[in-house]
Structure 1
Amino acid sequence: MPFPRASQALSRFTVLDLTRIRSGPTAVRQFADWGANVIKIDALSDDAGSEQPGGPRQGSDFQNLHRNKRAMTLNLKDPRGLAVFKRLVAKADVVVENFRPDVKARLGIDYESLKAINPGIVYGSISGFGQDGPYHKRPGFDQIAQGMGGLMSITGAPGEGPMRVGIPVADLTAGLFCALGVLTALLERDVSGQGQWVQTSLLQAQIFMLDFQAARWLMEQDVPKQAGNNHPTSIPTGVFKTSDGYINIATTGGKIWERCAQAIGAPELITHPDYATGPARSKNRDALNTAISACTEKRSTEEWVNDLNAAGVPCGPIYSVDQMFADAQVKHLGLAQDVPNDQNRKITLVAQPFTLSRTPSQMAARPPEVGEQTEELLAEFGFGAEEIAELRRGKVV
């Protein structure tokens, strides 16, 4: 029975997945979810199925990262295993890895080595700090990148010290940027016929994600500071207490601020000299926030969400994760999707955040067990039954 594809959008591409932990699997997930023939290559070891960095194989984290793939085992440290891998590369389109920069050269699977076999190969690499430079041999971890990339210095309440954000944002964005880079290289290959090496790192991704906060320094030499729940430039924007919880309110520009003041029943704030202009509201933001909270505390979050949105004021509740998935719009968008499987397990995972009208993505296959499709995949790449059996006997696969 043919392996079910998640989409037809990228079905013409074969991707060899050498990635581990999070950033690399995040990159490859984009290809798997859009229908590429993704082959996850697991290390051949006695404990390959035990708990590993990134959590157990049937845990929620691993399952969310590795759906819609097939898997095989391969011992890349054995010359015979390296020879097998090179035969796969000869017919593949993409290789993605997130080893430390020196590891792939030592194994003989670096870009130059694989380019000699297949000049059209697109090779995606994610590292902690880059493939060269003074820090290139350092191991990369998300929180280290958050700190060195400036994010922790602008996250959290003023005076409370640096704070990491609640998701591994450097890992995730490095993976997404790697996928974008690989797709860009594949588009260019349609013109040139040549592959190329796509490189990104956790540090690069994190700095890019600073966006306007980084530009404030580069253009104006303004060092951004922690602002807690307050927006650094659009004021008032932040978290306000209600009678039964909290609400986010966001105002940008004088017109929305005026609508906000009217909607909360405090029109006198519009002409108050401390709040009448953008610079005045910025200077007196704490007092203004206190005045707004005195109004919002009188009614429930649901009431304010309804009334402020009706008045054209951007706002929204602050959900826990369970409340978020119960929201009517989230349900409508289909962001939680069940995965078909033959193990009588309930697997519900986070769906892709964008849609295509003709070639949609779906949860087509559960994440594979260790080396689950080894024989099937080798046969597809031209290995005969006796050849596969010999590789098994030699503990190469």
Structure 2
Amino acid sequence: MRRDGQRLYPAGHRPSLHRAGGGHRHRAQRGGRRRSDDPRRRGAGENPARRGSAADACRLGRKGPAPRRGGPPPACGGGRGDRLRGVARRARARCLGGRGAHPHTARPARRRALGQRADLPVHGRPCRRARPRGHARRRADLRDRPGQSGGIPVNVPVAEPAGSPLLENVRVLDLTNVLSGPYAGYQLALMGADVLKLEVPESGDLARQLGAHPGLSGEHLGVSFLAQNAGKRSVTVNLKSAGGREVFARLVAGADVLLENFRPGVLERLGFGRDRLHEINPSLIYCALSGFGADGPMRERPAYDQVIQGLSGIMSVTGSPRSAPLRVGYPVCDSVGGLAAAFAIASALVRQHRTGQGAYLDVSMLDAALSGMGWVVSDYLVAGREPLPMANENRTAAPSGTFDTADGKLNIAANKQQQFEVLCEVLGRHDLPADPRFATREDRKTNREALRDELEKTLRTRTAEEWDEILLPTGVPAAPVLTVPQALRSPQVTHRRLTHRMPSPAASGGDLTLLGSPVHVDGEALVPSSPPPRLGEHTDEVLRSVGYTADDIVALRAEGAV
């Protein structure tokens, strides 16, 4: 083993330390060659002889990653080294090719970006045409649009990022429906992945028919679909037909990731079980997201969010002792399950990039929900205390909950002794810290209802907004309880550019506003690269990219394969 910086690598080997794709600065260092001019990245115009079939790729032996070209970079020294004291690790990273690298120690010109597997050179990207993704595909008319009806500001300009999208050149086949799977695929699309949404001809994703706008649902553009599928390309494929299965096999051969949320065994019965998929593409990351996982006594049961909320115990701790069990007001299990799948895929991509090895990821929504409950579950597992519904109270502290004011609700979380004392001082209730019922944290937890009554006597003299302004400079965590429209209009959400306006794919035209990613990359918000697709909008385009001719496509349509 040899040490390089803070990491250990096998002797004679060190993986490339760079972000996928590089940025403008590094293109200049490579002589200004654009991605579309790179012969290794040509699309439909490349020499077909250089592309092997899926079967050819399966016969290729697996090879480890190539050693870094040019050997280790020279060490930084002299006066520059004197300036690196105190930040040695970060400076070391920059010298090895990170942002701001010295021109003489920058990464080599010829390098493999994430998604370009050196060990599968021919089938990894069959006939893919060069096309910008992520921020680069964002249309100019998405910027600086005026505010829209509903009062949600969406006109904050978004600057172009300095680097490439994090998942550039990663192709994802998204076979998912409704919410948990599409949400996972949407997170990957926001990070720059090329997500192909494979749908059943004529009907497509069930979410196309769901949502609060009947007109859009009638166009197979239901609000539920629009919310999670921007930045994807829609391809219709009938896996029950021979032609459709051949199309799917070609797509699998050129993919990095396959994501599905069928019940366990469905894809296998269609002829594409785990072993078959990895026979076609040994480097494939196959992520199966289901309600209960691929094994166990409940594996065959259908599951939606509310079913998982009930089986996980979430409903039992939601509400008050009188009102529980209650469903959480949004599909939390779908969201948590989707995030777990996206995280697992991103992790597997790191290994795939480093070693070329594929992965099988079995994600259970039930497991993800229990894991996401955190302290509620740990209190039982570790301390043996059964979780109970406590309405808006915090079991670990008091006063910590939701309180009445003159015009609405105010959340206060004075969990520390000092915060409680400051709260009492601001409210002018100097008697409360001296009251033996409220002297310590445990005393306050025991007498939380009495403490609430005392605090609300004063809190009801002002509005929630007034108390928010008064408490803000004191360090006591507090804020009004908002509605969803109020939250979307808040200065913080507006500043973070979480919502994005783009052209609607509906026949009536107009615009729609969608949520982006909660993550900013290099200081920039992640914007959906394109509007949600109409059903099958990109079928011909994608079929051509994997070698089908116009006549072939006509025949596939006649067969009902696409």
Provide TM-score, normalisation by structure 2. 0.68
Q: What pairs up with 1:64-75 in 2 under 5 angstroms?
A: 64-75=227-238
Give the secondary-structure state (helix, strand or coil) at the position aligned to 1:58.
coil
Q: Which residue of 2 aligns with 1:278?
A: 441
Within 2, Cα distance between the matches of 1:191 and 1:90? 19
Which of 189, 204, 209 is the matching residue for 1:32?
A: 189
1:261-318 deviation line (CA, Å, top 9, x unaligned)? 1111112111210001011001000000111111100011111000111111101111
Query: Is residue 44 from structure 1 mapped to residue 201 from structure 2 by the alignment?
Result: yes
Which of 173, 179, 198 is equivalent to 1:16?
173
Residue equivalent to 1:347: 512
Looking at structure 2, the residues matched to 189 and 267 of structure 1 have their Cα atoms a distance apart, in angstroms, of 62
SS in 1 for 2:265: helix
Supply the distance in 2 between the matched residues of 1:301 and 1:168 (Cα, whole angstroms). Answer: 28
For 1:375-386, list aligned pairs within 5 A.
375-386=540-551
Matched, 1:366 2:523: no
Aligned to 1:5: 133
Flag the 1:96–1:50 CA change in 2: closer, same or farther, 3 A: closer
Report the AA paired with residue 349 of structure 1. L
**Cα displacement string for residues 328-368 of structure 1 (whole angstroms, at most 9, x for unaligned residues):** 11211112211245763211011211100177521221111
Matched, 1:231 2:429: no
Is the aligned partner of 1:93 residue 2:256? yes
List per-residue Cα deviations over 1:1-34 (Å, max 9, x = no partner).
9765224221110001100010000110011111
Distance (whole Å) between structure 2 residues aligned to residue 215 and residue 189 of structure 1: 34
Query: Distance between the aligned counterparts of 1:179 and 1:111, measured in 2?
Result: 19
Q: Classify 1:211/1:49 alpha carbon distance in 2 versus 1 (closer, same or farther; 3 Å).
A: closer
Residue 133 of structure 2 aligns with an amino acid whose one-letter code is R
CA distance in 1, matches of 2:525, 2:193: 13
Match of 1:119 in 2: 282
SS, match of residue 274 in structure 1: helix
1:61 aligns with 2:224: yes
Residues 51 and 10 from structure 1, CA distance in 2 versus in 1: closer, same or farther, beyond 3 angstroms? closer
In the alignment, the residues of structure 2 paired with residue 121 and residue 389 of structure 1 have an alpha-carbon distance, to the nearest angstrom, of 29
Kept in 2, the 8 Å contact 1:274–1:284? The answer is yes
Matches within 5 A, 1:196-211: 196-211=359-374
Is contact 2:234–2:534 with CA below 8 Å preserved after alignment? yes
Structure 1 equivalent of residue 42 of structure 2: none
Could you give the per-residue CA deviations for residues 82-101 of structure 1, whole angstroms, max 9, x where no partner exists?
11101110010000000000
After superposition, the C-alpha distances for 1:181-205 in whole angstroms (9 at most, x for unaligned) are 0111111112331111111121011
Residues 1:335 and 1:360: Cα distance change in structure 2 (over 3 Å): closer
- What are the ranges of 5 or more consecutive residues in structure 1 without an aligned counterpart? none
**Amino acid of the residue matched to residue 171 of structure 2?**
T
Is 1:340–1:364's contact at 8 Å kept on the other side of the alignment? no
Given the alignment of the two structures, is residue 218 of structure 1 paired with residue 375 of structure 2, yes or no? no
Query: In the superposition, relative to structure 1, how do residues 245 and 304 fare at CA in structure 2: closer, same or farther (>3 Å)?
Result: same
Distance of 2:262 and 2:270 partners within structure 1: 11
Amino acid at match of 1:38: V
Q: Structure 1 residues 51 and 224 mapped into 2: Cα distance closer, same or farther (>3 Å)? A: closer
**Residues 98 and 49 of structure 1: is their aligned pair in 2 closer, same or farther, counting only changes over 3 Å?**
closer
Give 1:117 deviation, angstroms: 0.6
Distance 1:158 1:50, change over 3 A: closer
Matches of 1:372 and 1:73 in 2, distance apart? 9
Equivalence for 1:254: 417
SS of the residue corresponding to residue 172 of structure 2 reads strand
1:387 to 2:552 alignment? yes
Give SS of 1:61's match: helix
The letter for the 2-side match of 1:372 is E
CA contact (8 A) 2:283 2:358 kept: yes
Whole-angstrom CA distance in 1 between matches of 2:321 and 2:527: 43
Query: Would the alpha carbon gap of residues 49 and 237 (structure 1) be closer, same or farther in structure 2, given more than 3 Å must change?
Result: closer
Q: Is the 8 A contact 2:210 2:223 kept in 1?
A: no
Rounded to whole Å, the distance in 1 between the matches of 2:245 and 2:175 is: 13
Secondary structure, aligned partner of 2:520: coil
Q: Which runs of 5+ in 2 are unaligned?
A: 1-128, 136-164, 212-216
Aligned AA for 1:264?
L
- Give per-residue Cα distances to partners, 1:134-176, cap 9 Å, x unaligned: 0000001111111111111111011323011001111111011
Larger Rg: 2
Instruction: Map Cα deviations across residues 176-227 of structure 1 (whole Å, 9 max, x no partner).
Output: 1001001111111123311111111210111001101111111111111111
Percent of aligned pairs with the same amino acid: 36
Q: Distance in 2 between matches of 1:122 and 1:53?
A: 30
Letter in 1 for 2:201: L
Q: Hey, what's the Cα distance between the residues in 2 that align with 1:16 and 1:135?
A: 27
Work out the number of aligned pairs and report it: 396
Take 2:477 and 2:560, find their aligned partners in 1: how far apart are those partners? Answer: 60
Structure 2 distance, partners of 1:303, 1:31, is 41
Describe the SS at the equivalent of 1:286: helix
Structure 2 equivalent of residue 287 of structure 1: 450
SS of the residue corresponding to residue 369 of structure 1 reads coil
Q: Is the 8 A contact 1:341 1:365 kept in 2?
A: no
Shift of 1:49: 8.7
TM-score, scaled to structure 1: 0.96
